Structure 1
């Protein structure tokens, strides 16, 4: 009988290896879009479906406070997840309708197959001519179909929600680190 903990580590490692091979190009495109938006004074809004919303909040926090070094805050906001809202399915969409502007960025996180609240936010972002970065997993059924040619999808190579959740956090840290180093290259030259 195989040790269940070793099996979990093996699954994590296998997903890491597959991600390293597949995600280089979409991560570069997402970082380019993020950096260009920040340098041009645009805002970034983020949200996540269910537990992935914690990753959205983490991403907004590290973009505001810094990940690798002390720096000025980036204008990134995690949309509020008011699960008691009357229109629960539209809670993120309503916020985008209220504050989203053309060429702002909506960054969405989803580790499961369905994402009704995030999909509604994406539709609102599209109506506002915003750009979208989507971090999803292989079995995503809702998000991919909403992306346009200027949007970016980072599709984590797994259908396992736990492995996808781990990688959402990793990708959010990577995007912040790349943005910091591109915007403040002098901090990494030492």
Structure 2
């Protein structure tokens, strides 16, 4: 498992994939959907959406090599999503913007990523994808927003409270570009596949 830090890289994508996937029965990141591992699919979505580099935050599971990505180890993955998000944001270094997505949402489309990046280029500091008016992933943080976010991260809530407190949050309509369905169980993955 390699570790790396991206010093300056424009837009960096971060895939959160460090959890044990207990409800899934383990190994969620390497589970296959439409012939592709979930982790590879998430990386491909970020690359196709315009991210210059992609980091995959891992912890509970050794996912092996991931094409077009740098693996970032979160040794404190048991502490929850906030720890993994922190590890990814810190590894992104001086990225101008970071697009965060989850490994267990295989129907997120690259167009959603592209729309967030476009919103950032138009001046958004924090942007979140919405589907039929509901906030979901991916989420984009500018470099200055990352600096504001890092001290607030704790537990398993990730950036939820931070996003709720931002008056400058830009909602980007991504309806029709894909769906943010979570795959928390093997049965949920089967349903998406049928």
TM-score, shorter chain, exceeding 0.5:
no
For this structure pair, what is the TM-score category when the shorter chain's length is used for normalisation? 0.3 to 0.5
Q: Could you tell me the TM-score, scaled by structure 1's length?
A: 0.34
Higher relative strand content: 2
Q: Could you tell me the TM-score, scaled by structure 2's length?
A: 0.33
Higher relative helix content: 1
Q: Which structure has the larger Rg?
A: 1
